Amino acid sequence: MSAETGWSEAVDSREAVAAPDPTRFSHPDTVAVLAGRRSGGAELAPSLHPTTTFRIPSLESGRRMALDPTESHYYTRNGNPTVRAFEEAMAELEGAEASRAFASGMGAVSCVILGLCSSGDHIVAQRQLYSGTQFLLQAVCPRFGIDVTFVDGTEPGAFQAAVRPGKTMLVFAETPANPCLDLVDLEELGAIRGPLKAVDATFAPPSITRPLDYGVDLSLHSATKGLGGHNDATLGVVSGSAELMASLWAFAILQGANAAPFDAMNGLRGLRTLGVRLERQSATAQRLAEALSDHPGVETVRYPGLASHPQHQLAKRQMRMFGGLLAFDLARGHDAGERFVEAVKLAQIATSLGGPETLVTHSASTTHAGLSPEELAAAGIGPGTIRISVGLEHTDDVVADLLHAADKANA
């Protein structure tokens, strides 16, 4: 072995170690552990490739790479090995042919909406939406000549009735919806013919629901939330067919909202524990929802796992677990909401969700603060609406803390 070639020969002589094939297993918790390892060699932890650009071996290779928008060893705005591992893992989890990662959930949402729709097109969307998505549809789309019709996503047949044949390019849904956990019937949505169907499933990661299984064309997530799961990765992701994702990929390169390798690495690490985190969070959320339902100061509790949820039967049909998010309304309104969030001791006031810490937020003052009173009412958000993202603390401690805060809010 010569001094000049010894390093490369030593690397090349390593025995290849094949990772288990995630496609052989059907349960999403197993897939989450095994997925995204095709190019990782023998490493068990995700590998970080922080480089923005790569050496090109020849002009011919450079020409080929330049014409392939998904190339992962050309320029990181197009693709990156660490980001690609996260994308491959998400595609396997979603049952999709391809996935594309973005710098945030809104990067993913805006790519889908603006990458698919042009001036003169029509979108049907539900009223119960994350406020950023609502603002994009309500204020930005009209500037580009894109018409949007909002419907009640819980009303059977509402999406279909609003479709304009030959004009509607996209039907956009969010389920469970932020913050009140209203559900959309995915089977009904997937059966709509003509327009493309996209679902933001941030509140129900693939271990809970896979929209593509119901005939939906695109599944979106703010992977910053439950998928990443540790409040240390800002990511979005879209999954769908290879043909549709190729079209979106070309727009995404121009959009420039590409995922950072470090965030993709943390997102991939988060996927490894997705199943067990969701099991714990769902169990605690169920206990908490039941306890809050019995509290005299609480008017309404909205959690898909409660028999009192108006769409509980639908939740049982399309959700494997009911998730770690719940919302409730304090009977004494806005002032009670402020007292509640200020009275918590274990839980923390923050606007995100899906992480290991239990987080509380007064929706009208934070996540949906930009909406008018009429828009808040249309989204089901009252002056005393509280959203809780249940963490991984012991269930007894979480329940005790939030019941104590409800006592204080009602005092």
The catalytically annotated residue of 121, 185, 200, 263 is 200
Catalytic residue among 29, 38, 77, 397: 77
CA atoms within 13 A on the CB side of 20: 10
DSSP string for residues in 379-407: TT--TTEEEEE--SS-HHHHHHHHHHHHH
CA atoms of 50 and 57, how far apart (whole Å): 20
State how far the Cα of 127 lies from the Cα of 365, in Å rounded to an integer. 19
Q: At 405, list the tokens.
A: 């805060």
Question: Which residue is catalytic, options 127, 197, 210, 225?
Answer: 225
Distance (Å, whole) CA 282 – CA 1: 57
CA–CA dist 326, 78 (Å, integer)? 37
Which one from 74, 75, 130, 303 is the annotated catalytic residue?
130
Cis bond upstream, residue 179 (ω within 30):
yes
Strands (E), 232-308: 236-240, 298-302
Residue 77 annotated as catalytic: yes
Is residue 211 within 8 A of residue 219, CB to CB? The reply is yes
- Identify whether 397 is a catalytic site residue: no
- Catalytic residue list contains 200: yes
Tell me how far apart the alpha carbons of residues 344 and 403 are, in angstroms, rounded to a whole number: 9
DSSP annotation of 258? B
What is each CA distance from 321 to 208, 306, 315, 399, in whole angstroms?
5, 12, 9, 19
> Is residue 225 among the annotated active site residues?
yes
Let me know: does 364 contact 376? Beta carbons within 8 Å.
Answer: yes
- Phi-psi domain of 28 (left: phi exceeds 0; alpha: psi -120 through 50; beta: other): alpha
List, by residue number, the catalytic residues.
Answer: 77, 130, 200, 225
